[in-house]
Structure 1
Amino acid sequence: MTTAPSTAELIAARQPGFSLPRDLYCGQQALQDDLEQIWYREWLFAVPACEIPKTGNFATLNVGQYPVIVIRGADGRIRAFHNVCRHRGQRLCPKASGSNPKLVCPYHQWTYDLDGKLLYARDMGEGFDASKYGLKPVHCVDIGGMVFICIAQVPPAINDLAKNLMTYLAPSALADAKVAFSSTIVEKGNWKLVLENNRECYHCGGSHPSLCRTYSDDPEMTVMEGPNSASAEILDHWDRCDAAGLPARFVSAPDMQWRLARVPLMDHQESFTMSGKAAVSRRMGTIPWNDAGAMMFYHFPTSWNHFLPDHAIVFRILPISPTETEVTTKWLVHKDAVEGKDYDLNKLTEVWLATNDEDRRVVEENQAGILSPAYEPGPYSPRQEMGVLHLVDWYCGLMSSRLGLQAAAE
């Protein structure tokens, strides 16, 4: 009986410039390796901080097998914990979000303070030491209004990302924002297919009529190689932003795990709306013009985001199974913006609700084709799919390194 190739062997056999072997998109072992080597070890975008603005506000998410709760404490600090009671393992908070003055296990009412300390455990007997049974913490950091978590015992360095992200997010003033709308869908596709689809606009003209009213599918408008290397239109936009003190020029991690840049929308349009005009009259932050474009932030493996003068859109993906991915989108507006007065919710959300559903269909058909034994990896377009190449090269490089070290240790 032939043994199936390992994830490391599949990656080693991958032809550079081509899509990945079939099992990396649909195999259970590949997903388990992805979880253990990436999702359980890297910083992940969890929620915008403005989603939990008050003491006791919480949000939950599942990172593979790990349920996590993110909560704001009485001291204003945002913390994250494993969403597991230290008594008999009940999930503390089954809801996606809410607010509690204390964290009370619904099973036997063990009660924890918002900093994770165990406050109450009934009838545990003489000598029971509550200090040994606080909630298990998860690394958590608020960077300019975006909350990141890391499951690993020792997280990777985040200083370089934090420094750049705080600078680029500052003009959007996310501390003064609120969540106007949230959408969660499940795409029946591997998490890498969801990200690959996001990282190119080769498909946009044929798939996204609403988005392409304002967002160009010309690769020259999204391919940037450095702070002085981009199309003439983008360079002109960056010069304009520089003159106003608005961070805009391309900056990235050396391995392209994250990247930041502000790009103009087509024809000086203002926002991702059907009309191209701003969706919210009460603007966010200190961005000086309506046509300042979108500050784009990508972070592998979990997030892409757009920050505009009138609103922001943050996206988070989480793997569910080898062929299922949860995609959550949140629209942020100024905290004082009033629905029905300062913005119409339909106009604010219609473009990206449609785009998300269109992307879902594309990803699901992509996955359906890859499930066929007839699938074999095909070549990426060096002009249209450079962003996909960045993603796949990052994935293969990281996994090769970590799986190789693991094999050597064994």
Structure 2
Amino acid sequence: MTSRPGDLNDLMSKHRPGYALPREFYTSQAMFDHDIDKVWNRNWIWVGHESQIPEPGDYFLFDYGTESLIIVRDRQGDIRAHLNVCRHRGSRVCTEGAGKARVFVCPYHAWTYELSGELRAGRDMGADFDPAKWGLLAAQVIVFQGMILVCPGDDAPPLATALEQLAPLTAPFAFEDLKVVHEARYPVPANWKLAVENYLECYHCAPAHQEYARSHTLKSPQQMAALMPALQERSAAVGLPTVELNMTGPDAIAPGADAYYRRYPLFEGYKTGSRDGEPLAPLLGSLTGFDGGATDVSIGILNFFLVYSDHAVGYRFVPRNVQETDIHVVWMVRKDAEEGRDYNTDDLTWLWHVTSQDDERIIRHNQAGVNSHFFRPGPLAEMEWAINDFYDYYKKMIATA
């Protein structure tokens, strides 16, 4: 458990609603440690897709800050998440990023754990030692349409209502029938909050993302609004909902317990997020055609998805240190699609590869400027409305005891 930064109340009082956060939120090591404890350890994190661990014993690690999680399918076929901390003297139990295990054996003193987390054996611990008390610490798990969400702490935001409302909107895409075909990490020397804030607004899209801006109307609210009625007709025709779900802000049940869904139009001539507008992979789920749209989906405060008619892209902004963050991008297609026949990885990943490279550059420059002692938080634009919601959630989370 980290200690509360001594000047937190004073720092929070300096934040002016409708403006960026003060400098110290992005530069203080104590603030970063507090973020990990209050935000990352106590919220739902999208760690991956169930297709990544299809058989009992299959596992992968998910690391952030000083924490590490083991995501594994146990012998009964259930997906579990364990804290990757030996209950003996704290060594990492798993040291390989992914693999297949019969049991988990700590490399330090050979304490051995079942896939379910129970301690099978603690070597030479004496007659009074009770292994039942020393299993791996468990994290909470929700599998939503194949997407694995994990909350490391005990007090998880109540997601049931949000997922219940989101489920019929995402059902036509059949997330459960996706598979991960490519992952990429883009390290950026910046605080994780600057990376999240960048994702939450498209005020920067026109000047900073030339390739993205050619196809996505999100850069221009006026153009998006003009093209929306036609998109909604096409979406309904191919089997996609046309309603918007926005549980963020004052409509959220609790910070981190929200969901968001909005389908918006691509520019004319673009069926999907590709270089030439042409399809990249087979249609997802039950869709009967391309409507020329893209869907923004978010679950909680940390998990973001962009869903086209033929593929989905997941985004995470994983904190490593106070000014070290990984932009983690995951591309998914229908599970029966074959590389070389149904999709080409280079073509599939092109747009969000170049866009993420742009993001690394602009976020890096953003942090460099925020580091200046002369930085003063400026006012947010109307197109940055989602950042205000993020700040509201964030401030409530870090203020908890």
TM-score normalised by L of structure 1 = 0.88
1:30 is matched with 31
CA distance in 2, matches of 1:166, 1:268: 30
Matches within 5 A, 1:388-399: 388-396=387-395, 398-399=396-397
CA positional deviation for 1:101: 2.5
1:164 is matched with 165
Q: In 2 relative to 1, CA 57–287 (structure 1 residues): closer, same or farther, beyond 3 Å?
A: same
CA positional deviation for 1:305: 0.8
Q: In 2 relative to 1, CA 310–88 (structure 1 residues): closer, same or farther, beyond 3 Å?
A: same
CA positional deviation for 1:89: 1.9
1:360 is matched with 360
2:255 is matched with none
1:155 is matched with 156
CA distance in 2, matches of 1:300, 1:158: 8
SS at match of 1:76: coil
Structure 1, unmatched stretches of 5+, are 223-229
* Contact kept? 2:177, 2:335, Cα under 8 Å: yes
* Contact kept? 1:248, 1:263, Cα under 8 Å: no
Equivalent position amino acid for 2:388 in 1: L
* Contact kept? 1:269, 1:291, Cα under 8 Å: no
1:178 is matched with 179
CA distance in 1, matches of 2:243, 2:269: 18
SS at match of 2:374: coil
1:253 aligns with 2:247: yes
1:125 aligns with 2:119: no
1:226 is matched with none
* Contact kept? 1:295, 1:307, Cα under 8 Å: yes
Equivalent position amino acid for 2:215 in 1: T
1:225 is matched with none
1:4-24 per-residue CA deviation (whole Å, 9 max, x = no partner) reads: 982332222212211111101
CA positional deviation for 1:245: 4.7
CA distance in 2, matches of 1:355, 1:253: 27
CA distance in 2, matches of 1:189, 1:305: 22
CA distance in 1, matches of 2:173, 2:128: 52
* Contact kept? 2:238, 2:291, Cα under 8 Å: no
1:12-68 per-residue CA deviation (whole Å, 9 max, x = no partner) reads: 221221111110121122222222222222222211222222222212122433211
Deviates more, 1:312-321 or 1:48-57: 48-57
CA positional deviation for 1:128: 3.1
Matches within 5 A, 1:85-234: 85-220=86-221, 231-234=225-228
Matches within 5 A, 1:278-357: 278-280=279-281, 282-357=282-357
CA distance in 2, matches of 1:236, 1:78: 42
1:335-358 per-residue CA deviation (whole Å, 9 max, x = no partner) reads: 221111111111011111111111
* Contact kept? 1:268, 1:291, Cα under 8 Å: no
CA distance in 2, matches of 1:278, 1:197: 27
Q: In 2 relative to 1, CA 179–221 (structure 1 residues): closer, same or farther, beyond 3 Å?
A: farther
CA distance in 2, matches of 1:219, 1:75: 50
Equivalent position amino acid for 1:204 in 2: C
SS at match of 1:262: strand
1:306-334 per-residue CA deviation (whole Å, 9 max, x = no partner) reads: 12221111111221222111221111112
1:9 aligns with 2:10: yes
* Contact kept? 1:144, 1:165, Cα under 8 Å: no
Deviates more, 1:323-332 or 1:289-298: 289-298
1:379 is matched with 379
2:74 is matched with 73
* Contact kept? 2:248, 2:389, Cα under 8 Å: no
CA distance in 1, matches of 2:210, 2:361: 14
1:369 aligns with 2:369: yes
TM-score normalised by L of structure 2 = 0.90
SS at match of 1:385: helix
1:242-301 per-residue CA deviation (whole Å, 9 max, x = no partner) reads: 465523421122426531112222115222111111111x33211222235222112453
CA distance in 2, matches of 1:32, 1:300: 20
SS at match of 1:387: helix
Deviates more, 1:135-144 or 1:234-243: 234-243
Deviates more, 1:204-213 or 1:360-369: 204-213
SS at match of 1:125: coil
- What is the RMSD computed on CA atoms of the aligned residues? 2.3
1:353-391 per-residue CA deviation (whole Å, 9 max, x = no partner) reads: 111111001000000001011110111112x22222332
Equivalent position amino acid for 1:102 in 2: V
CA positional deviation for 1:122: 3.4
Aligned residues: 390
SS at match of 1:388: helix
CA distance in 1, matches of 2:222, 2:124: 65
CA distance in 1, matches of 2:87, 2:6: 39
* Contact kept? 1:300, 1:391, Cα under 8 Å: no
